[in-house]
């Protein structure tokens, strides 16, 4: 049995946790958890311009929301820290010295402007700029001394071989090979003394004993250069696995124009973390065959395997995410649903109105519990829930104008609703008003007496009471709303014909 794997998620703190990053983090986490390995969080803040505290906090918050817990990280330490690259500058410096000592790294005095200028020239001459022309590669000791004496700042580049090839066996993509000829001498330490991503990533992955580097396939072309760094340092590279990217619904790069792209936005849209995690797990991976797709994190861990991770890019499907989300909501028990719905009431200041005198539910929570029970599986979205239950808490509720016009604003409806209101006033009292069945009987009686089918009365009543053409069972609604309020709304509706 091979030793427990050590994997990592290494975001740069330059924005929110994007779904692509979240999926990368998720697959690393799934692999670690399914193999009893370690999941490390490392922050790659080597870009002094773009790294921010807010992004750092947002990324950690996003991961916590999703439930991706890490075993080692900047906030909780570990045996291989620090886990913030800006705190590891000495380490990178030492390794750079090692490379400089044996001539594998050299100083490059070309400024960004120099490089741009030469690239433009090459292009103008009809040629192609391959990335770096190796100008400082052959600088003599005297030339270097002179440039330094002149105060010219310099970066460090890795001297890469011109012949041969670099290859590796990717866990997901199988054998990948690059001709060294196309690999350029890229910068490993910038003029500001900070390492580039390429260098810091290699040094840290090695020192932190990362066994598997699982990342997006946008890193495929960085890998050969990184392998060259491992070789220059005399180290054995870890195993690499490049996962396919997540694209927008139109197969183009996923961007804000497609809708939400950061996990924080999905949170704001009523997506449950368990649902988000579930949906993301299905992008590029599958439990196989006819296995059910709606799963808890534990179930996913139990079935996860890197071997089953696919290699083609996936389009993000908001519809399916919503479906998975509704399945997760429906799978919740009463307490779980209540916990989800209560905050929505609080946001709106909705409370049980004592005047409604609802039997057996004297607190807002108990009342909401009964409302949700009546709703049953109709409660499948946090976005629509307020509309679905608002009329239970306020007289100023959402009204579907189209439904109102069709079912309520007619003379027939007006007549029938008045008949019903009268009958409720005379016929129902006391304990009877606490049984949906009593409302049921009375409504049908009224319809019969008026000579119409029950549905002719039920439809207008539903819209009159709830403002919508769809709701929980209307007799339960009457019972939960209370007799006085029911009669009041029926009369108000009858008057609008």
Give the catalytic positions in this structure: 256
Q: How far is the CB of 3 from RNA (least distance, A)?
A: 27
Q: Say if residue 231 is exposed, middle or buried (CB neighbours under 10 Å; 0-12, 13-18, 19+).
A: middle
Q: Specify whether the CB–CB gap between 179 and 142 falls below 8 A.
A: no
Buried b (16+ CB within 10 A) or exposed e, 142-152: eebeebeeeee
The footprint of RNA on residues 377-396 (CB under 7 A) is 377-378, 380
The CA distance from 6 to 168, in Å, is 19
The piece of 75-83, 96-104, 203-211, 289-297 that touches RNA (CB under 7 A) is 289-297
- C-beta of residue 300 within 8 angstroms of C-beta of residue 30: yes
Residues 72-111 that bind RNA (CB under 7 A): 108-111
Q: Which is nearer to RNA, 93 or 153 (CB)?
A: 153
> Where does this chain touch RNA (CB under 7 A) — which range of 71-79, 194-202, 335-343, 416-424?
194-202
Q: Does 376 help bind RNA (rule: CB under 7 A)? A: yes
Phi, psi of 240 (to 5 degrees): -115, 145
Within 294-313, the residues that bind RNA by CB under 7 A are 308, 310-313
Helix (H, G, I), strand (E, B) or coil at 484: helix
Contact 158, 230 (CB under 8 A): no
In the bound state with RNA, the residue whose beta carbon lies nearer, of 35 and 46, is: 46
Among 118, 219, 303, 492, binds RNA (CB under 7 A): 219
- Residue 237 vs 353, nearer CB to RNA: 237
Half-sphere exposure of 52 (CA within 13 A, CB side): 7
Among 34, 86, 211, 469, binds RNA (CB under 7 A): 469
Of 29 and 225, the one with the shorter C-beta distance to RNA is 225
**Any contact of residue 413 with RNA (CB under 7 A)?**
no
Scanning residues 17 to 76, which ones bind RNA (CB under 7 A)? 44, 46-47, 50
Residue nearer to RNA on the CB measure, 219 or 492: 219
User: Among 106, 132, 367, 391, which residue sits at the site for RNA (rule: CB under 7 A)?
Assistant: 132
The footprint of RNA on residues 153-182 (CB under 7 A) is 153-155, 173-174, 176, 178-179, 182
- Rounded Cα–Cα distance for residues 101 and 106 (Å): 10
The single residue among 190, 206, 258, 303 that binds RNA, judged by CB under 7 A, is: 190
Residue found under tokens 């604003």:
409
| DSSP state, residue 18 | B
Select the span of 27-35, 138-146, 465-473, 484-492 touching RNA (CB under 7 A).
Answer: 465-473
Which class for 11: exposed (0-12), middle (13-18), buried (19 or more C-beta within 10 A)? buried
Please select the residue that binds RNA; options are 115, 301, 338, 423, rule is CB under 7 A.
Answer: 115
Q: Scanning the structure block, which residue is given the tokens 């609080």? A: 346
For 70-132, the DSSP string reads: -SBBTTTB-TT---BGGG-HHHHHHHHHHHHHTTSEEEE---HHHHHHHHHHHHHTT----S-
Residue closer to RNA (CB basis): 130 or 209: 130
- Binding to RNA, residues 264-283 (CB under 7 A): 282-283
């Amino acid at each position: 049995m091979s030793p427990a794997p050590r994997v990592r998620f290494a975001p740069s703190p330059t924005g929110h946790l994007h779904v692509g990053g979240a999926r990368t983090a998720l697959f690393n986490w799934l692999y670690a958890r399914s193999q009893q390995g370690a999941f490390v969080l490392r922050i790659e803040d080597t870009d002094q311009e773009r790294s921010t505290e807010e992004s750092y906090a947002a990324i950690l918050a996003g991961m916590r929301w999703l439930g991706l817990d890490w075993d080692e990280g900047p906030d909780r330490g570990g045996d291989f820290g620090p886990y913030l690259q800006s705190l590891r500058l000495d380490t990178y410096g030492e390794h750079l010295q090692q490379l400089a000592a044996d001539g594998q790294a050299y100083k490059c005095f070309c400024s960004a402007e120099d490089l741009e200028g030469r690239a433009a020239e090459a292009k103008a001459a009809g040629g192609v700029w391959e990335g770096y022309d190796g100008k400082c590669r052959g600088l003599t000791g005297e030339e270097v001394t002179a440039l330094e004496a002149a105060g010219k700042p310099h970066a460090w580049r890795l001297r890469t071989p011109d012949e041969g090839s670099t290859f590796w066996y990717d866990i997901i993509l199988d054998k990948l090979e690059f001709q060294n000829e196309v690999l350029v001498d890229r910068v490993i330490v910038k003029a500001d003394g900070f390492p580039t991503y390429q260098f810091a990533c290699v040094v840290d992955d090695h020192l932190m004993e990362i066994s598997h580097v699982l990342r997006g396939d946008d890193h495929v072309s960085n890998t050969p250069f990184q392998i060259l760094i491992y070789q220059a340092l005399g180290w054995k590279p870890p195993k690499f696995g490049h996962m396919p990217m997540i694209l927008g619904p139109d197969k183009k790069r996923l961007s804000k124009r497609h809708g939400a792209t950061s996990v924080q936005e999905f949170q704001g849209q009523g997506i449950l973390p368990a649902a988000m995690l579930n949906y993301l797990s299905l992008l590029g991976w599958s439990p196989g065959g006819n296995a059910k797709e709606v799963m808890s994190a534990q179930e996913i861990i139990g079935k996860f395997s890197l071997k089953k991770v696919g290699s083609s890019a996936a389009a993000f499907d908001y519809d399916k995410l919503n479906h998975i989300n509704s399945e997760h909501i429906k799978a919740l028990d009463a307490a779980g649903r209540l916990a989800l719905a209560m905050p929505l009431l609080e946001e709106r200041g909705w409370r049980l109105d004592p005047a409604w005198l609802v039997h057996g539910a004297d607190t807002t929570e108990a009342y909401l519990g009964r409302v949700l029970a009546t709703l049953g599986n109709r409660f499948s979205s946090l976005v629509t829930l307020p509309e679905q239950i608002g009329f239970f808490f306020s007289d100023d509720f959402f009204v579907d104008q189209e439904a109102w016009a069709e079912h309520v604003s007619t003379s027939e409806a007006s007549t029938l609703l008045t008949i019903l209101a009268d009958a409720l006033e005379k016929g129902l009292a006391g304990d009877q008003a606490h049984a949906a069945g009593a409302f049921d009987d009375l409504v049908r009686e009224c319809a019969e007496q008026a000579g119409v089918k029950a549905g002719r009365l039920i439809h207008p009543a539903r819209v009159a009471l709830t403002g919508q053409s769809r709701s929980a069972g209307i007799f339960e609604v009457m019972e939960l709303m209370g007799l006085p309020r029911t009669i009041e709304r029926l009369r108000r509706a009858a008057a609008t014909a």
